Chain A
């Protein structure tokens, strides 16, 4: 079948956009999602104050969960008119001063003009608290504080911000909901005693599902398939855009530019059936399954897996209009490849010889540290008997040694014999490679002279 080039292009664009931008659709973790949704809704509509921590390893969908809940709630009049959302990130707001300024600006308080906040930290804090205290459950808007990288907020001075937020949340002032998102499971131990006492101990854990390899294959197919026109129409019917006035907060980037399939969708039905049938065949293929299984054994989280698929889709162009089994195998290989072996394989022959000498030294002396002189002697013994490596000057060898150090294949020891006071020829170093890695690299280098390969096998010359 002659494939139109534009079809492949749009397919690539569509799938890439879906992998990257589709932060609003979320599957799995039904009870957890419902829990968060209930909390936010109750905060908005009944004026309750809540605090909750969302915990889980990186890439398991914590932010996606929150985004999907917000994308569902924000289109509702009753929600977005009753709430202000304040988004703080521990990586951006590195101290309480910045966090406070940002919060004040996002809440559009009186002392904020055009996103600039006036006054010192103390004044701002007093002002913010005054505003929150003056509020009341029935009359004032609810404020939802989303604190991403929550563990970093715990390292602020005296945890002032956290104390004050939780204090407002547990006493009957303006209704606020504090949602902390973090990857550290023991984050609650970082809190000070008085802060911990004010926190409601509502922790929601997200863990990847157990041994769900079939689910992973299903996910593989779902992420790569194109929606049929029928499905799309159904999606469009339920999709409600977030109204403009709910998006006035500039800092809340989570719910901006969400994925809307209608923007991209220009496929002929024939192409869609063709493509989907192909993907289904791939998902049933045993070789593909093996590759996926290896990746799954290593990492069961969804986030990294999506990034891998992105790599796969990137390869599509007019020459390769479909995803092939070979390209997936290639992906698996590059996933499992050892970058240090690749690095060593790119070194010069002299540098590899030095590495082999280091390997022998470490094997003989059970990983004792070495300095340049020891390695040079060992290498010299070999070079004298070899026909190709004779007559290499000491300074050239030292240069090669330095290069290895710059690549961090060896590191100087700290402490005795390693300090910068010692001459660099006598500075002690450690090898950062395993023996296996060196022998793999030696096998990989096709151009090495045979005698070096033999020397790598045994230290006897």
Chain B
């Protein structure tokens, strides 16, 4: 009992604190939801050397005399003004290649608004296809601003599934006394009963809410079917079949079944268009020749169609080119170095070919003994019948190889260290090759010694 009161006291203190600063910064809280960071925008500012930035470099932060504390209130207000001045206008209408989905969403919302009813929607697609960004745009869509009450919640930022109710009611600004899930849920439902502006509830990463009986998902997805709800519910997740898998019961009634919109991965042409529009905005398109862009886009589109990845790669390339610029000392904008195909390939290889770089380094980075170990493993894999290899067996082969080549063979304890196994019964532990066999043999093949070991079947001791 005693402990309990103390705890509650403490939490009330925390609450008080939070409330205090919420009061201070209420205007910010509102607004920080509006100008949300569209990915493209971010990269614009960061990737590309705009004059603004270099100016800031010279006179910006370093010259600030005082250390800046990360105290919220100050921070926030300043942040706010800058948002209003600059970027709010840029943000709307700046999402190339997602016009169709955008229109679809707008018509959906308009329909619901016209009828004065409610609706639910589920948006799926792989990561990096612009789902969240499009939604943010809808939330800021001009004609809707007066009529809708936007609530955006990212479900990964909650710990337990049940606390979603609390989060929603906080976002709606409900006054709730008490703290259990039920109370919050009741409060939200009561709010939906009353007369209110249409609420647009966006739940990002909605699959995080799944629990053993899916009670929460069901209760949330059933809200729109209430007569007075006036709620537009939008769930966003990666899985294509989330509604079929988790929410089978919703199918039973037609009015409950959410509409599904899919965001397909970007195609090559789309990625090129997006990159171009990004680069144009900061006039550094000159750095990227057409084929380089095409290569980049083709590679990204063929594996994932993830626009983030394309932007990250573009950013890395720009960094590299800028570094060269500085080295050469060219500062005039007419003589900028362009990205070469070689650089594109190099970065792409780094990002995609983890294993390839491995086997290049395998050639250099290994001590002799480990190389022989890999060889013996390959030898057994190639010629042995039994693919079930224990460390003991491998050591026997290794030892006979070493004897034959007049090399110093290490003891078994060290050998196990070489395999870097930490198991209790090392001799019986099975060994597998983690890499592709062909790749390893390709990496090892060019050495004389290694080659001769690989062909020497007699060491197998048959």
Contacts and interface: CB of A to CB of B under 8 A. Distances in A.
Interface of A: 45-49, 77-78, 81-82, 84, 96, 107-111, 118-123, 125-127, 129-131, 133-141, 158, 160, 163-164, 167, 170-174, 185-186, 188, 193-194, 196-198, 200-203, 205, 207-211, 294, 296-300, 336, 338-340, 408, 411, 430, 432, 434, 436-437
Nearest to A47: B61
A198 B308 contact: yes
Contacts of A137: 45
Closest 10 CB pairs of A and B: A210-B364, A197-B127, A207-B365, A136-B79, A171-B37, A78-B62, A134-B76, A172-B42, A122-B159, A300-B367
Contacts of B350: 201, 203
Given A134-B75, A170-B42, A434-B412, A297 B368 contact: yes
A411 B304 CA distance: 49
A160 B205 CA distance: 12
A192 B449 CA distance: 42
A164 B157 contact: yes
A193 B126 contact: yes
Interface stretch (B242-250, B253-261, B353-361, B454-462): B353-361
Given A122-B159, A167-B154, A203-B354, 8 more contacts: A134-B32, A138-B82, A170-B39, A171-B39, A172-B37, A297-B368, A340-B412, A408-B424
B158 A122 contact: yes
A107 to B, nearest CB: 7
Contact of A336 (B18, B42, B72, B411): B411
B246 to A, nearest CB: 16
Interface residues of B, number: 83
Contact of A45 (B39, B57, B205, B363): B57
Contacts of A77: 62
B432 to A, nearest CB: 14
A110 B75 CA distance: 13
Contacts of B53: 46
Contacts of A186: 354, 434
B413 interface: yes
Given A134-B79, A209-B364, A411 B413 contact: no
Contacts of A109: 70
Given A48-B46, A121-B159, A336-B414, A136 B78 contact: yes
Given A197-B127, A203-B350, A122 B163 contact: yes
B428 interface: yes
B408 interface: yes
A47 B435 CA distance: 39
B127 A78 contact: no
Given A140-B68, A437-B412, A201 B309 contact: yes
Contacts of B205: 194
A376 B365 CA distance: 50
B72 A110 contact: yes
B403 interface: no
B351 A131 contact: no
B413 A297 contact: no
B309 A197 contact: yes
Contacts of B211: none
Interface of B: 10-11, 13-14, 17-18, 21, 28, 32, 37, 39, 41-42, 45-46, 53, 56-57, 60-62, 64, 67-72, 75-76, 78-79, 82-83, 126-128, 154, 156-160, 163, 205, 208, 238, 304, 306, 308-309, 312-313, 315-316, 350-351, 354, 357-358, 361, 363-369, 392, 395, 408, 410-414, 418, 424-428, 434
A209 B361 CA distance: 9
B117 to A, nearest CB: 32
Nearest to B11: A119
20 contacts: A45-B61, A118-B11, A119-B11, A120-B11, A134-B28, A135-B79, A136-B75, A139-B78, A139-B79, A140-B68, A141-B70, A158-B156, A172-B45, A197-B126, A197-B306, A202-B312, A203-B350, A208-B367, A298-B414, A339-B413
Given A109-B70, A122-B158, A139-B79, A298 B369 contact: yes
A130 B350 CA distance: 34
A125 B157 CA distance: 7
B46 A110 contact: no
Contact of A111 (B14, B62, B367): B14
B70 A84 contact: yes
A298 B410 contact: yes
Contacts of B42: 170-172
Given A119-B11, A122-B159, A297-B408, A338 B21 contact: no
Nearest to B372: A297
Contacts of B425: 411, 430, 432
A77 B13 CA distance: 37
Contacts of A297: 367-369, 408
Interface centre among B45, B46, B350 (most CB of A within 10 A): B46
A78 B60 CA distance: 11
Given A298-B414, A434-B412, A110 B159 contact: no
A271 B413 CA distance: 41
Contacts of A173: 37
B157 A45 contact: no
Contact of A135 (B57, B70, B158, B315): B70
Contact of B413 (A45, A163, A338): A338
A170 B37 CA distance: 9
B242 to A, nearest CB: 14
Nearest to A212: B364
B131 to A, nearest CB: 11
A417 to B, nearest CB: 16
A324 to B, nearest CB: 23
A211 B447 CA distance: 13
A254 B256 CA distance: 56
Contacts of B159: 96, 120-122, 125, 160
B68 A141 contact: yes
Nearest to A157: B159
Nearest to B57: A46
B10 A129 contact: no
A138 B365 contact: no
Nearest to A127: B18
A133 B351 CA distance: 28
Contacts of B46: 48-49, 172
Contacts of B128: 197
B103 to A, nearest CB: 25
B309 A107 contact: no
Nearest to B13: A118
Contacts of B21: 110
A140 B424 CA distance: 51
A373 B75 CA distance: 79
A10 B157 CA distance: 55
Nearest to A82: B61
A185 B358 contact: yes
Contacts of B32: 133-134
A296 B411 contact: no
A296 B408 CA distance: 12
Given A125-B157, A158-B156, A194-B127, A210 B363 contact: yes
